C-alpha cells in the first residue's frame, strides 16, 4: 500500500446523505433534475446575453460570470454525488478529494467576490447614473473580474495547501457527501487547531470584505432611492437590484450558517442540508432569479428565439 503524507490511508469514503436505498434513489433523481436545470439555465443565460446586443452592458457581463461560476460550482459537486448515490462505491482518491476541495473553494470564494462586484455595479448605476459608462468601463469590469478570480485562487490555494500537508490516520470515512474542509480536518492525526484557525481567518476575511463592500453599496443605494420623489422612479431603481439582493441573501445566508458558527454547534444533518442548498440548489436558482425578475432578459430571450426561428425559415 502506498503512503500519502505519512499515512496508510490511500483514499476516502464519502458517507453521503443517507443509508436508505429508497432515499438514495429519490435524492439521485432529484439531484439529476436539478443539475440538468442548472446546466440548461446557466448555459441558456450565457447564450442569451452573448447573442443579444442590447444586453452587452456591465450588469449582464457580470451575470455571464455568475452563470459561469455557478455552472462550474455545481459541476464540481453534483456529478460525484450522483455517482455515489447510484453506486455502492463511495470512495474518492486523495488526489480526487483535494482537487474537488480546491475547485469548490475556488468557485465559492470567487462567487462571494463577484457578488460584491455586482453590488458595486448597481451602486454606480443608481447613485452615479451620468458617470456610469465612464466608471464602469470595459477596463474596470475586467479588472473587477480578474480581482475576483485572483482572490478565489489565493483563498483556495491557501486552504488546500494548509490541509494537504497534514497526516491522516484516524479514519478514511468523511462524514459528508463531498470533500469539505472541516470534515477532512476531523480525520487528521495531528492537532488541527492552528490550521482550522488559519483557514477560518482566510475565509472569513474574504467574506467580511465582501459584506462590507456590499453593505456600503446598498446603504448608498437605499439613501439615493429614498431621495427619489416619484413612486415609479423608486420602484424602477429598486427593481434593478432586487434580484441581486435576493440571490445574495440566499447564498450568504447558507454560507454563514454553515461555516461562521462555533464548532460546538456543528450538526451533521443541518450542515448537510445547508451544503446541499448552496452547492446544488442555488446554482439552479440564480438563473431563475435573474431571468424571471428581469424584463430585459425575458425580452432578449424572445428576440433570440424569433431570430433563430426566422433564420431556420429562411434556410
Whether 6 is in a domain gets the answer no
Query: What count of Cα atoms within 13 Å lies in the side-chain half-sphere of residue 88?
Result: 0
The per-residue pLDDT for range 43-63, each reduced to its tens digit, is 999 998 888 888 889 999 999
**Number of domains observed in the structure of the chain:** 1
Render pLDDT for 257-310 as a digit per residue (tens, 0 to 9): 777 666 555 556 667 888 888 899 989 988 888 876 667 777 777 777 777 666
On whether residue 278 sits in a domain, the answer given is: yes
What domain range includes position 55? 11-259+268-314
Q: Is residue 108 part of a domain?
A: yes
- The pLDDT tens digits of the residues spanning 68-96 come to 999 999 999 999 999 998 887 788 998 99
**5 falls within a domain:** no
Total H helices, total E strands in the chain: 11, 3
Residues 175, 15: contact at Cβ < 8 Å?
A: yes
Tell me if residue 188 falls in helix, strand or coil.
strand
Q: Which residues pair with 11 in a beta bridge?
A: 93
pLDDT at 196 over 80: yes
Give the distance, in angstroms, between the CA of residue 236 and the centroid of all CA atoms in the same chain.
27
Round to whole Å and give the CA distance between 94 and 98.
6
For residue 283, give the nearest of 45, 52, 55, 89 by alpha carbon: 45
For residue 154, being part of any structural domain is answered with: yes
183 domain-assigned = yes
Look up the CATH number of the domain holding residue 79: 1.20.1070.10
Q: Is residue 1 part of a domain?
A: no
Residue 3's CB is within 10 A of a number of other CB atoms, namely 10
- For 225-257, write each residue's pLDDT tens digit: 888 877 777 777 777 777 778 888 888 888 887
Q: Are 57 and 133 in contact (CB under 8 A)?
A: no
In a domain, 150, yes or no: yes
Amino acid at each position: 500500500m502506498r503512503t500519502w503524507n505519512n499515512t496508510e490511508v490511500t483514499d476516502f469514503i464519502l458517507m453521503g446523505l443517507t443509508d436508505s436505498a429508497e432515499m438514495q434513489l429519490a435524492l439521485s433523481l432529484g439531484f439529476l433534475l436539478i443539475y440538468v436545470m442548472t446546466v440548461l439555465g446557466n448555459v441558456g443565460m450565457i447564450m442569451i446575453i452573448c447573442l443579444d446586443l442590447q444586453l452587452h452592458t456591465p450588469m449582464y457581463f457580470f451575470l455571464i460570470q455568475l452563470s459561469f461560476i455557478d455552472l462550474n460550482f455545481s459541476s464540481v459537486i453534483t456529478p460525484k454525488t450522483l455517482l455515489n448515490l447510484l453506486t455502492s462505491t463511495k470512495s474518492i482518491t486523495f488526489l480526487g478529494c483535494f482537487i474537488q476541495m480546491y475547485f469548490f473553494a475556488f468557485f465559492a470564494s470567487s462567487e462571494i467576490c463577484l457578488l460584491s462586484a455586482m453590488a458595486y455595479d448597481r451602486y454606480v448605476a443608481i447613485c452615479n447614473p451620468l458617470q456610469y459608462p465612464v466608471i464602469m468601463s470595459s477596463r474596470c469590469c475586467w479588472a473587477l473580474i480578474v480581482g475576483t478570480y485572483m482572490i478565489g485562487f489565493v483563498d483556495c490555494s491557501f486552504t488546500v495547501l494548509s490541509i494537504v500537508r497534514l497526516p491522516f490516520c484516524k479514519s478514511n470515512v468523511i462524514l459528508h457527501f463531498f470533500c469539505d474542509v472541516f470534515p477532512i480536518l476531523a480525520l487528521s492525526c495531528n492537532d488541527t487547531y492552528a490550521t482550522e484557525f488559519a483557514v477560518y481567518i482566510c475565509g472569513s476575511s474574504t467574506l467580511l470584505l465582501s459584506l462590507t463592500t456590499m453593505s456600503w453599496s446598498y446603504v448608498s443605494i437605499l439613501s439615493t432611492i429614498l431621495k427619489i420623489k416619484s413612486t415609479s422612479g423608486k420602484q424602477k431603481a429598486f427593481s434593478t437590484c432586487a434580484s441581486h439582493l435576493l440571490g445574495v441573501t440566499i447564498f450568504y445566508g447558507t454560507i454563514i450558517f454553515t461555516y461562521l458558527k462555533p464548532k460546538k454547534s456543528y450538526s451533521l444533518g443541518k450542515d448537510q442540508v445547508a451544503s446541499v442548498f448552496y452547492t446544488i440548489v442555488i446554482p439552479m436558482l440564480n438563473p431563475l432569479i435573474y431571468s424571471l425578475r428581469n424584463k430585459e432578459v425575458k425580452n432578449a430571450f424572445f428576440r433570440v428565439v424569433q431570430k433563430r426561428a426566422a433564420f431556420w425559415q429562411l434556410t
